């Protein structure tokens, strides 16, 4: 690796783009390009699936889809993935995981959507179900538009698999720790640009005169345009994967190592804990229990407010093209906001400590949700005109800032919380929280919303009850964060005492060893994560500029190569 010159300009370049040499730059750009196009596809398909389902079935239908469609599909997928990963090389596993998604999108574009009228049930079959309670009507609508529901489920699977399983697992396999310190923070900034570009593409197309008005043809044109972009991005992902693999193989062979992509993928993977085992692991440790409370709290709170906000967006933009245009603007705004918040968020954790970073997300969500619930409850769920436009604006701000804060603060702090644990707690605790947290958070919110929809007819009428559940979950989340902060700081102070001689060397010397790197925790002895003591946090551990850096390095150090979405 070529060092940056010791001039002022060289130090600036070292801070902004610490990548050196043509081969290393090529490897970074290829990997960054893979992440960019993966998130580009994720953004396009996420907005398209919402457009198809919400404008045809209603926002409340999402709660039913996530429980009875996404959850079973995700379970089957992970069982199949665990089995196949023991049989295939890493390269073959990458293609076996990624290629089916793009084959489905192509099939949907060429066959399923053009033939939807023939594939969907007849009006006579649907009329037999007319007259059921309003809450059940959302299930009927899913049956009426089952191809759209299938597209939603597949796109949800892609969003869960693409970053964690496809990108980070590949990156962790081919990027050495020394490079990861410099690569991973920059990956976060690059990934923030993908939603911006994807959103602008959709907005530009929906604003074009060639759409010729708001009709079925316009919706078909939008879908063709989006899925054409998905196909192009998919080709770029596979091409860049080959480039990254070739560069990595050359690098490994020059260093005397083996080929990282021909090994069997399942070696060294972390344990997959069932529901009962997850509860047992979390029940034995208060520390892990409070950490699980944070993950559950976020999943529950964001799901409760998101469906309500999407219902209001549906009311304001019932036409699919208008809805897609709005979601394109939303995605671009989210990308820009995340880019900014990640930059300032990393400094918040660095200067104010882990406790401030952990509390920032629930406090900000509590403040942002108050005007949203206030507007909906004051209108008694009957929003219209300027009141509806204002509610949509408030909900959009709440959604954008909540997610940006999550990426900038929630993700890094929850990943950092594993650092002071012993190795067994790290491995089993992370497996339990990843499995149980994602399942109970999203599924629990969906079950609650189903009950509320059946009781009140739609989610807006149930706003007072949703608000009570939301703030109760936030209260538990905040309490868990406070208690976990106390325990985290105690553990890091204890570790600092155990590693005192090393701590003195790190502060006194001018070197830049692994324990003081900006790239995140990397030492096997656990000495790089003593961020609990406020004054020593800034001196000894500089957090990465994005959550992906912390998460990726923690997987390398504490668990395995088997990343979770």
Task: Report the range of poorest mean pLDDT among 68-82, 280-294, 473-487.
Answer: 280-294
Q: How far apart are CA 409 and CA 193, in angstroms?
A: 19
| Higher local confidence (pLDDT), 389 or 217 | 389
Of residues 354, 347, 318, the one with CA closest to residue 487: 354
| Higher local confidence (pLDDT), 353 or 263 | 353
- What mean pLDDT is reported for the chain? 78
Tell me whether residue 553 is in a domain. yes
Q: How confident is the model at residue 409 (pLDDT cuts 50, 70, 90)?
A: confident
Crossing angle of the two packed helices 216-255 and 177-207, in degrees rounded to 10: 160
Query: pLDDT tens, 35-87?
Result: 999 999 999 999 999 999 999 999 889 989 988 998 888 888 888 888 888 88
Three-state secondary structure of 474-535: HHHHHHHHHHHHHHHHHHHHHHHHHCHHHHHHHHHCCCCCHHHCCCCCCCCCCCCCCCCCHH
Q: With contact defined as beta carbons under 8 Å apart, do 41 and 157 qualify?
A: no
Q: How confident is the model at residue 552 (pLDDT cuts 50, 70, 90)?
A: very low
- Number of folded domains in the chain? 1
Distance of alpha carbon 292 from the chain centroid: 17
Classify burial at 256, counting beta carbons within 10 Å of its beta carbon; exposed 0-12, middle 13-18, buried 19 or more.
exposed
In this structure, what are the phi and psi dihedrals at residue 224, rounded to the nearest 5 degrees? -60, -45
Q: With contact defined as beta carbons under 8 Å apart, do 181 and 515 qualify?
A: no
Tell me whether residue 376 is in a domain. yes
Segment 500-511 mean pLDDT:
42
In which element (H, E) is residue 467 found? helix 463-498
Segment 529-536 mean pLDDT:
32
The pLDDT assigned to 112 comes to 95
The pLDDT assigned to 464 comes to 93
Of residues 334, 343, 330, 331, the one with CA closest to residue 412: 343
CB atoms within 10 A of CB 351: 11
Q: How confident is the model at residue 6 (pLDDT cuts 50, 70, 90)?
A: low
Query: pLDDT tens, 296-328?
Result: 899 889 988 998 999 999 999 998 989 999 999
Classify burial at 254, counting beta carbons within 10 Å of its beta carbon; exposed 0-12, middle 13-18, buried 19 or more.
exposed
Residue at token pair 């993950």: 295
> Concatenated DSSP letters for 332-396?
HHHHHHHHHHHHHHHHHHHHH-HHHHHHHHHHHHHHHHHHHHHHHHHTTT---HHHHHHHHHHHH
The pLDDT assigned to 353 comes to 82
Q: How confident is the model at residue 541 (pLDDT cuts 50, 70, 90)?
A: very low
Global pTM reads 0.77
Which CATH number is 341's domain given? 1.20.1250.20
The pLDDT assigned to 132 comes to 65
pLDDT at 232 exceeding the cut of 90: yes
In this structure, what are the phi and psi dihedrals at residue 532, rounded to the nearest 5 degrees? -75, -40
Tell me whether residue 263 is in a domain. no
Query: Which range, 97-101, 165-169, 301-305, 511-515, is most confident?
Result: 97-101
Tell me whether residue 209 is in a domain. yes
> Concatenated DSSP letters for 209-222?
GGG-SSSHHHHHHH
Tell me whether residue 101 is in a domain. yes
Question: What residues contact 381, with CB distance under 8 A and at least 6 apart?
Answer: 458, 460, 461, 463
Three-state secondary structure of 10-43: HHHHHHHCCCCCHHHHHHHHHHHHHHHHHHHHHH
The pLDDT assigned to 137 comes to 82
Task: Report the range of poorest mean pLDDT among 62-71, 273-282, 353-362, 495-504.
Answer: 495-504
Segment 251-264 mean pLDDT:
64
The pLDDT assigned to 323 comes to 92
Task: Report the range of poorest mean pLDDT among 31-35, 231-235, 314-318, 347-351.
Answer: 347-351
C-alpha distances (whole Å) from 379 to each of 78, 189, 225, 360, 470 are 43, 40, 38, 30, 19
Query: 433 lies in which domain range?
Result: 12-249+275-558
C-alpha distances (whole Å) from 235 to each of 30, 34, 95, 157 are 13, 10, 12, 19
Residue at token pair 């629930």: 362
Q: How far apart are CA 544 and CA 343, in angstroms?
A: 10
The pLDDT assigned to 281 comes to 63
Q: How confident is the model at residue 534 (pLDDT cuts 50, 70, 90)?
A: very low
Q: How confident is the model at residue 250 (pLDDT cuts 50, 70, 90)?
A: confident
The pLDDT assigned to 161 comes to 85
Q: How confident is the model at residue 530 (pLDDT cuts 50, 70, 90)?
A: very low
Query: H-type helices in 108-215, by residue range?
Result: 116-119, 123-127, 134-144, 146-161, 169-174, 177-207
The pLDDT assigned to 379 comes to 84
Of residues 92, 467, 476, 517, the one with CA closest to residue 304: 467
Q: How far apart are CA 35 and CA 32, in angstroms?
A: 5
Of residues 436, 470, 440, the one with CA closest to residue 452: 470
Q: How confident is the model at residue 14 (pLDDT cuts 50, 70, 90)?
A: low
Tell me whether residue 504 is in a domain. yes
pLDDT at 542 exceeding the cut of 50: no
Percent of the chain residues past pLDDT 70, beyond the cut: 73
The pLDDT assigned to 207 comes to 82
Of residues 555, 537, 517, the one with CA closest to residue 18: 517
Query: pLDDT tens, 120-148?
Result: 888 777 776 666 666 688 888 899 999 99
Backbone torsion region of residue 336, taken as left when φ is above 0, otherwise alpha when ψ lies between -120 and 50, otherwise beta: alpha
Task: Report the range of poorest mean pLDDT among 85-94, 310-319, 493-502, 531-540.
Answer: 531-540
Q: How far apart are CA 381 and CA 206, in angstroms?
A: 30
Segment 528-556 mean pLDDT:
36
Q: How far apart are CA 330 and CA 32, in angstroms?
A: 23
Tell me whether residue 81 is in a domain. yes
Distance of alpha carbon 259 from the chain centroid: 30
The pLDDT assigned to 229 comes to 97
pLDDT at 1 exceeding the cut of 70: no
Tell me whether residue 317 is in a domain. yes
Q: How far apart are CA 422 and CA 552, in angstroms?
A: 19
Segment 507-511 mean pLDDT:
39
Q: How confident is the model at residue 427 (pLDDT cuts 50, 70, 90)?
A: low
Task: Report the range of poorest mean pLDDT among 14-18, 78-82, 554-558.
Answer: 554-558
């Amino acid at each position: 690796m070529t060092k940056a010159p010791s001039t002022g300009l060289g130090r600036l370049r070292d801070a902004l783009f610490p990548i050196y040499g043509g081969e290393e730059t090529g490897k970074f750009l290829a990997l960054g390009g893979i992440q960019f196009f993966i998130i580009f596809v994720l953004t396009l398909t996420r907005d398209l699936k919402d457009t198809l389902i919400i404008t045809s079935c209603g926002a409340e239908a999402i709660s039913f889809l996530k429980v009875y469609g996404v959850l079973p599909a995700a379970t089957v997928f992970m069982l199949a993935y665990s089995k196949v990963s023991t049989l295939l090389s890493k390269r073959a596993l990458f293609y076996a995981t990624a290629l089916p998604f793009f084959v489905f999108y192509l099939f949907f574009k060429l066959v399923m959507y053009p033939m939807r009228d023939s594939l969907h049930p007849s009006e006579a079959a649907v009329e037999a179900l007319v007259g059921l309670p309003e809450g059940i009507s959302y299930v009927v609508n899913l049956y009426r538009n089952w191809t759209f529901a299938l597209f939603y489920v597949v796109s949800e699977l892609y969003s869960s698999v693409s970053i964690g399983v496809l990108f980070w697992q590949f990156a962790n396999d081919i990027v050495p720790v020394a490079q990861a310190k410099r690569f991973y923070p920059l990956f976060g900034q690059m990934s923030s640009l993908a939603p911006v570009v994807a959103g602008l593409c959709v907005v530009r197309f929906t604003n074009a005169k060639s759409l010729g008005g708001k009709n079925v043809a316009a919706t078909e044109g939008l879908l063709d345009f989006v899925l054409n972009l998905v196909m192009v991005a998919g080709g770029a992902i596979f091409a860049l994967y080959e480039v990254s693999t070739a560069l990595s193989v050359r690098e490994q062979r020059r260093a005397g190592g083996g080929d990282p992509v021909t090994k069997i993928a399942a070696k060294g993977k972390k344990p997959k804990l069932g529901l009962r085992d997850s509860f047992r692991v979390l029940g034995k440790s208060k520390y892990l229990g409070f950490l699980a409370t944070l993950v559950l709290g976020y999943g529950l709170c964001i799901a409760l407010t998101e469906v309500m906000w999407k219902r209001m967006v549906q009311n304001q933009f019932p036409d699919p093209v208008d809805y897609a245009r709005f979601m394109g603007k939303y995605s671009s705004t989210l990308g820009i906001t995340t880019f900014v918040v990640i930059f300032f968020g990393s400094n918040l954790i660095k200067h104010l400590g882990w406790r401030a970073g952990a509390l920032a997300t629930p406090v900000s969500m509590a403040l942002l949700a108050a005007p949203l619930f206030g507007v909906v409850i004051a209108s008694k769920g009957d929003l219209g005109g300027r009141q509806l436009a204002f509610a949509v604006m408030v909900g959009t701000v709440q959604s954008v800032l909540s997610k940006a804060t999550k990426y900038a603060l929630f993700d890094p702090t929850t990943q950092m919380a594993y650092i002071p644990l012993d190795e067994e707690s790290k491995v089993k605790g992370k497996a339990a929280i990843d499995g149980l947290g994602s399942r109970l958070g999203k599924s629990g919110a969906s079950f609650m919303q189903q009950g509320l929809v059946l009781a009140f007819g739609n989610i807006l009428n149930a706003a007072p009850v949703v608000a009570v559940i939301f703030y109760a979950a936030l209260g538990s989340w905040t309490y868990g964060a406070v208690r976990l902060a106390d325990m985290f700081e105690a553990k890091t102070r204890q570790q600092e005492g155990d590693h005192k001689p090393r701590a003195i060397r790190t502060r006194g010397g001018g070197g830049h060893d692994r324990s003081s790197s900006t790239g995140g925790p990397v030492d096997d002895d656990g000495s790089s994560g003593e961020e609990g003591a406020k004054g020593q946090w800034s001196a000894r551990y500089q957090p990465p500029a994005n959550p992906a850096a912390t998460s990726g390095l923690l997987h390398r150090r504490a668990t395995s190569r088997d990343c979770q979405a």
